[in-house]
């Protein structure tokens, strides 16, 4: 599922206005949390897991707030993985380094370290790769180095498997329309496996087809193990929506917002990360339950207002959680119109149809 040519696309720079805009919205979010939502992180973390899961909702959502300064600091670096990183992203980097070394020297350097851990040897191999390719030899994998190491997905219309979950289930992507379209909208149905109300919305937009000039890239179940088990987490008890770039450590496996052992440590979040590199979306919509609101990141403010009006859900700026889809895209891809849509539980049919209308409108007019 990978193309053979290696794309060399420098990461998009983060404009200072976008950073300032995001910092401002984070400030508002922090104010809201400090005021009405209030649950202290310590209280939420010490609560029994069952309670926390049931509450996976307004009060509990107050955990993981990020200061504007912290978000700006995260935005200033574009490191994907570095010494100390673990998990799926390191495994993929190791695989790519081996391929590059075999191409160049006929054999790969043995890692001699624990699998999937970015240690001193990985650092020196990355440094050598960077030197061979005219990159700054830092030994840390920034976005440009990653783009040269890892090919993007070669997607075509229809359904394809792009990656596998921890348990080996396929992570499939459905492309509706032509990816050469100016407007490319990634829609994520169910990243939290117990919040799958968005799936009929994806089905409905796929059935009707893409409007002219639009391509949909639908990822119904990026967390197939969680969806099969009906759990928020993936099979390693990681909250994937805290596992993206901008990750910070918090709690232990099973904790409701457990972010994993490092950024992109999980194959499911790495698949979404690679999908964004591959598609270069102009808009990104991810469905959750059950906060009943439309949250936005990056350039999404205007489309969030329209989406809210058409769907009947209010705009609400949720806290900028470390390592969430929204925070990652808002800081690293501020020109993407990113929406987090929180549906209700249960979801009336009328809400589904209004969201289908809102999504089609967004796809056409963003």
Footprint on this chain of Zn ion (rule: CB under 5 A): 192, 195, 288
Residue closer to Zn ion by CB (options 57, 315) is: 57
For the CB of residue 295, give the shortest distance to Zn ion in the complex, in Å.
11
Query: Rounded CA gap, 63 and 61, in Å?
Result: 5
Q: Where are the beta strands (DSSP E) in the chain?
A: 79-81, 141-142, 158-164, 170-176, 183-188, 214-219, 283-289, 293-298, 337-343
Query: Rounded CA gap, 30 and 25, in Å?
Result: 9
Residue closer to Zn ion by CB (options 92, 195) is: 195
Which backbone phi and psi does 334 adopt, to 5 degrees? -65, -15
Output the six-digit token pair for 337: 């119109």
For the CB of residue 288, give the shortest distance to Zn ion in the complex, in Å.
3
Query: Rounded CA gap, 20 and 316, in Å?
Result: 19
- Nearest-CB residue to Zn ion? 288
For the CB of residue 195, give the shortest distance to Zn ion in the complex, in Å.
5
Output the six-digit token pair for 153: 């997905």
For the CB of residue 239, give the shortest distance to Zn ion in the complex, in Å.
8
Residue closer to Zn ion by CB (options 89, 293) is: 293
Residue closer to Zn ion by CB (options 150, 288) is: 288
For the CB of residue 328, give the shortest distance to Zn ion in the complex, in Å.
15
Q: Is-contact 213 244, C-beta < 8 A? A: no
Q: Where are the beta strands (DSSP E) in 11-157?
A: 79-81, 141-142
Residue closer to Zn ion by CB (options 192, 236) is: 192
């Amino acid at each position: 599922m990978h193309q053979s040519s290696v794309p060399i696309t420098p990461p998009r720079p983060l404009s200072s206005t976008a950073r300032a805009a995001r910092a401002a919205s984070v400030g508002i979010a922090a104010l809201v949390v400090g005021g009405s939502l209030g649950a202290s992180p310590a209280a939420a973390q010490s609560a029994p897991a069952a309670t926390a899961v049931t509450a996976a909702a307004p009060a509990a959502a107050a955990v993981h707030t990020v200061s504007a300064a912290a978000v700006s600091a995260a935005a200033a670096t574009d490191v994907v993985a570095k010494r100390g990183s673990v998990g799926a992203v390191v495994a993929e980097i190791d695989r790519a380094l081996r391929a590059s070394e075999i191409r160049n020297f006929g054999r790969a350097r043995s890692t001699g370290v624990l699998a999937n851990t970015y240690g001193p040897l990985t650092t020196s191999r990355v440094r050598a790769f960077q030197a061979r390719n005219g990159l700054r030899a830092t030994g840390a994998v920034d976005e440009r180095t990653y783009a040269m190491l890892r090919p993007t997905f070669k997607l075509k219309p229809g359904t394809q498997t792009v990656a596998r979950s921890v348990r080996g289930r396929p992570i499939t992507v459905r492309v509706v329309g032509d990816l050469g379209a100016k407007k490319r909208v990634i829609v994520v149905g169910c990243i939290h496996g117990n919040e799958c109300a968005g799936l009929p919305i994806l089905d409905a937009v796929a059935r009707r087809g893409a409007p002219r000039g639009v391509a949909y890239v639908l990822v119904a179940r990026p967390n197939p193990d969680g969806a099969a088990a009906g759990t928020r987490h993936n099979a390693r008890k990681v909250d994937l929506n805290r596992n993206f770039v901008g990750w910070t450590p918090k709690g232990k496996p099973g904790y409701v917002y457990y972010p994993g052992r490092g950024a992109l440590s999980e194959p499911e979040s790495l698949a979404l990360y690679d999908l964004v590199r591959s598609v270069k979306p102009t808009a990104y919509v991810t469905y959750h339950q059950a906060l009943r609101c439309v949250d936005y990141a990056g350039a999404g403010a205007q489309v969030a207002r329209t989406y809210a009006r058409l769907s009947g859900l209010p705009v609400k700026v949720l806290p900028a959680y470390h390592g969430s889809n929204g925070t990652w895209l808002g800081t690293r891809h501020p020109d993407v119109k990113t929406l987090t849509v929180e549906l209700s539980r249960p979801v009336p049919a009328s809400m589904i149809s209004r969201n289908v209308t809102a999504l089609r409108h967004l796809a056409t007019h963003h």
